[in-house]
Amino acid sequence: MKIGITYDLRADYLKEGYSEDETAEFDRPDTIEAIEKTLHELGFETDRIGHIRHLVQRLAGGDRWDMVFNIAEGLRGYGRESQIPALLDAYNIPYTFSDALVLSLTLHKGMAKRVVRDHQIPTPDFVEVESLSQIDQINLPFPLFAKPIAEGTGKGITASSKITSREELYAECKKLLQTYRQPALVETFLPGREFTVGIWGTGDDAQVVGAMEILLNAGAEKDVYSYVNKELCEQLVTYALAEDEEAKRAQEVALRAYRILGCRDAARVDVRSDAHGNPHFLEINPLAGIHPAHSDLPIICTLKGIPYRELIDRIMKSAIQRLDGKP
């Protein structure tokens, strides 16, 4: 079986003049090497394609694959993660992970929260700020938390993301609006424990891999799983497998959200508890980072004693099921 691999390599975009922040979600060469090596071990033939422009050239040249292992994040717009899946759909080429609809929906954090809220899954109260004139109309109690509405990897999240006054809210939203040219999501800050939950499978077959608690070390930016804390996680963050009752409730919230949003094959769900220990859905990443040592989903697998090879195998088996017509 011939598997194409689509991805956005950070170094490629840096060479084109894009900034560190603009390329924050893109992959390192050793991520692609780990995926390809594991696919070979599982008996697949592989073909590195790269980003969407390379895919367009390859498709126009007549190249085809039995399936594409897609981890490309895209560069611009709310549909950036959906561009390659939509293109592959047009050519009737199967691919791993979620489809174009799910990837667009979940990238927009406000839209995703509306869907899970409509299904009675707890999520912090929120507003979307499109202009500074809206700030005086926000009636949520402080402290609040602000972040870009459609970014990942902690982009736009710093120590100042936790907001305790109207003045801080104005300053933070102004910074986010100017920097990211998209609305800011402002939500109630939850002071409880923070979990990230790994899930694999599709639909009724989806299962929780495990829940990992995010514990910030001395020297980390306080109260936030920020871009800096993620980038320097080896020094600033301790990851602990969480299996107590509160963690189990976090897993239930995550699995319900995963199924309701229509995610496939694997994803990571971020959950945080309120002051009473009640877990709330924050956001979901249906194209979770997959570096074997640096990304949250593989770290959860490692803490559970699950080899990286089994994670890739589970993703592939879930995707291959769709070749027989299963959604």
Same domain, 271 and 151: no
Range of the domain at 66: 2-95
Residues 159 and 208 in one domain: no
The CATH number given to whatever domain includes residue 259 is: 3.30.470.20
Q: Are residues 151 and 262 in the same domain?
A: no
Are 180 and 197 members of one domain? no
In-domain check, residue 110: no
Listed residues 136, 170, 188: the one ending a domain: 188
Q: Are 150 and 262 found together in one domain?
A: no
pTM for the structure as a whole: 0.94
Q: Would residue 118 count as lying in a domain?
A: no
Q: Is residue 113 part of a domain?
A: no
The reply to whether 293 falls in a domain is: yes
| Polymer length in residues for the chain | 327
Q: CATH number of the domain that 55 lies in?
A: 3.40.50
Indicate whether 109 belongs to any domain.
Answer: no
- Mean pLDDT, rounded, for 92-121: 98
Q: Are residues 199 and 318 in the same domain?
A: yes
Q: What pLDDT, in 10s, does the model give residues 75-86?
A: 999 999 999 999
Q: Is residue 179 part of a domain?
A: yes
Strand, coil or helix: 251: helix
pLDDT of residue 233: 84
Q: What is the per-residue pLDDT for 324?
A: 72
User: Do 180 and 198 fall within a single domain?
Assistant: no
- pLDDT at position 125, please? 97
Q: Yes or no: say if 220 and 229 are a contact pair by the CB < 8 Å rule.
A: yes
**Quick one: average pLDDT of 194-211?**
97
Same domain, 143 and 258: no
Each residue of 236-258: pLDDT tens digit?
899 999 999 999 999 999 999 99
Residues 221 and 236 in one domain: yes
pLDDT digits (tens, 9 = 90+) for 25-65: 899 999 999 999 999 999 999 999 999 999 999 999 999 99
Rounded to an integer, the average pLDDT of 5-13 is 95
Write the pLDDT tens digit of every residue in 258-313.
Answer: 999 999 999 999 999 999 999 999 999 999 999 999 899 999 999 999 999 999 99
The pLDDT value recorded for residue 152 is: 85
Spatial strand order of the sheet with 279-285 comes to 237-241, 207-216, 194-200, 266-273, 279-285
Residue 191 has pLDDT above 80, yes or no: yes
- Of the candidates 188, 208, 243, which is a domain's last residue? 188
Q: What local confidence, expressed as pLDDT, does residue 153 receive?
A: 76
Query: Same structural domain for residues 184 and 267?
Result: no
Beta strands in 130-188 (DSSP E): 144-148, 162-163, 184-188
The predicted pLDDT at position 234 comes to: 85
Q: In this predicted structure, what is the pLDDT of residue 325?
A: 67
Domain count along the chain: 3
pLDDT band for 68, please (50, 70, 90 cuts). very high
Average pLDDT over residues 7-35: 93
Q: Are residues 226 and 306 in the same domain?
A: yes
Last residue of a domain, one of 52, 75, 95: 95
DSSP 95: B
pLDDT in tens, 168-186: 999 999 999 999 999 999 9
116: in domain: no
CA–CA gap between residue 108 and residue 198 (Å, rounded): 20
